[in-house]
Structure 1
Amino acid sequence: MSTQRAPQRQHDRIICNQPGIGRLVLRRFDPQRDSWEFLTQLLHRAFARLASLGLHCACVDQAASATRQRALAGDCFVAVCNGRIVGTMTLEGRDGASPCEQYRQRGVASLHQFGIEPAWQSRGIGRALLAFAGQWAATRGFTQLALDTPFPAAQLVAFYRSQGFSLVDVVRFAGRDYDSAILSKPAGASPLFGRMQPAFAHAGATAAR
């Protein structure tokens, strides 16, 4: 995968208060204190429902080495509640080698390995991560944020549509026996992000791979 990485900038760690949850921290994954194996098991649990529907995404059963490799292709973030990682996502810049045309477009950032611990779903954590992702993309000069999800997973497609994403393509990725919906939305701050508090900034620093 050939991915254009961007330097770390402001708002790479934020804190917000979620109703019914309390303090939610969104920060960069730190291999010095975080575990790739734990993150992989979280993704397995988050994608188990898709697996039960016969939709075997990579995150359903990938090894920790694959999680690490995919995360290091971009910027991996985690959502932390009560000191425990309950969600994750990886954000990437333009990928000129992707089989997905949308991901190859200049000005398009993409979101991958996006999962929330099942017991913590439907509490606004996913919406907070997506709001953060939109701001991350905009501050790096991207105009669109794109992602893919199994097209047969109507509930997920509807969720992303409710967050401002529009269906722009349908792609059959290699090794998959289902079509994937490619969804995209303009990058930028959302009202939710406006209620989040930046915890620190490292403008101009380069993120560690």
Structure 2
Amino acid sequence: MSNARAPQRLDERIACIQPGIGRLVLRRFDARHDSWEALTRLLNRAFARLAALGLHCLCADQSANITRERALAGDCFVAVCNGRIVGTLTVKGRDSHSQCEHYRQRGVASVHQFGIEPKWQSRGIGRALLAFAGHWAAARGYTQIALDTPFPADHLIAFYRAQGFSLVDVVRFAGRGYDSAVLSKAAALHGGGGFPHAPGALPHALGASPFL
């Protein structure tokens, strides 16, 4: 199994036309032009609902420096519509130092800093990013793609289950005042209506590729 990160080409992108949205582009975060501060504010807004419920995820109030540090630990991607970043996630390989036993397994890649701008939620962007994460993992030889979310957040667990994830563990991460549900699913290059091309070889303006 090869877990090496593919060479990054900062001009890589996948584009499609999404009903009700228009042209939607998935690309790598590019620090030459993109702002860590703006990405952090997006994550803060995306996690504000959880914070209001008393579930203070790191993304709800982390600094731009923390966003950058966490993003550079893996591959950070953004979804762009009308020139504006409306969603993001970071995918990374096996985390041998994680408090979560599942993340330490050799065949498991994981999703972090996953957030969609609130007014752009429920339009399929999150589903598209998760499908893409599965392709990213499979292309690197991983068999599972995993993530965690606050265990009390029933609506998020239901969303992830609808994307094919199953609960594999409940973990209390250091610094969090709540238990986290750890969910995982099989990583696949095809299936779930995701992107047909793996990152590291993203085509330009792939208009026929569906964001689901």
TM-score when normalising by structure 1: 0.89
How far apart are 1:14 and its partner, in Å? 1.4
Distance 1:29 1:53 in 2: 30
Give the stretch that moved more between structures: 164-173 or 15-24. 15-24
Indicate the RMSD between aligned Cα atoms, in angstroms: 1.8
Structure 1 unmatched runs, 5+: 201-209
Distance 1:6 1:79 in 2: 20
2:203 is paired with a residue whose SS is strand
Q: Name the amino acid aligned to 1:70.
A: R
Paired residues of 2:76 and 2:89 also in contact (CA < 8 A): yes
Paired residues of 1:29 and 1:76 also in contact (CA < 8 A): yes
TM-score when normalising by structure 2: 0.88
Correspondence for 1:199 among 178, 199, 203 = 203
Q: CA 1:24/1:37 → structure 2, altered by over 3 Å: closer, same or farther?
A: same
Q: Which residue of 1 aligns with 2:25?
A: 25
Deviations 1:18-46 (A, max 9, x none): 22111110100000000000000000000
Deviations 1:43-79 (A, max 9, x none): 0000000000000000000000000000000000000
Q: Name the amino acid aligned to 1:44.
A: N
Q: Which residue of 1 aligns with 2:134?
A: 134
Q: Which residue of 1 aligns with 2:186?
A: 186
2:174 is paired with a residue whose SS is coil
Distance 2:70 2:8 in 1: 21
Q: Which residue of 1 aligns with 2:113?
A: 113
Matched, 1:124 2:163: no
Deviations 1:107-128 (A, max 9, x none): 1000000000001000000001
Distance 2:139 2:178 in 1: 34
How far apart are 1:9 and its partner, in Å? 7.4
User: How many residue pairs align between the two structures?
Assistant: 196
How far apart are 1:187 and its partner, in Å? 0.2
Give the stretch that moved more between structures: 172-181 or 185-194. 185-194
Paired residues of 1:5 and 1:74 also in contact (CA < 8 A): no
2:89 is paired with a residue whose SS is strand
Correspondence 1:19-58 to 2 at 5 A: 19-58=19-58
Q: CA 1:26/1:194 → structure 2, altered by over 3 Å: closer, same or farther?
A: closer
Q: CA 1:195/1:103 → structure 2, altered by over 3 Å: closer, same or farther?
A: closer
Distance 1:100 1:5 in 2: 21
Structure possessing the higher relative contact order (Cα contacts under 8 Å, 6 or more residues apart): 1
2:20 is paired with a residue whose SS is coil
Runs of 4+ more than 6 Å apart: none
Distance 1:9 1:44 in 2: 27
Report the identity percentage.
Answer: 71
Q: Which residue of 1 aligns with 2:208?
A: none
Q: CA 1:184/1:5 → structure 2, altered by over 3 Å: closer, same or farther?
A: same
Paired residues of 2:29 and 2:76 also in contact (CA < 8 A): yes
Q: Which residue of 1 aligns with 2:158?
A: 158
Q: CA 1:175/1:5 → structure 2, altered by over 3 Å: closer, same or farther?
A: farther
How far apart are 1:5 and its partner, in Å? 5.3
Q: CA 1:152/1:5 → structure 2, altered by over 3 Å: closer, same or farther?
A: farther
Q: Which residue of 2 aligns with 1:73?
A: 73
How far apart are 1:191 and its partner, in Å? 3.9
Paired residues of 1:94 and 1:103 also in contact (CA < 8 A): yes
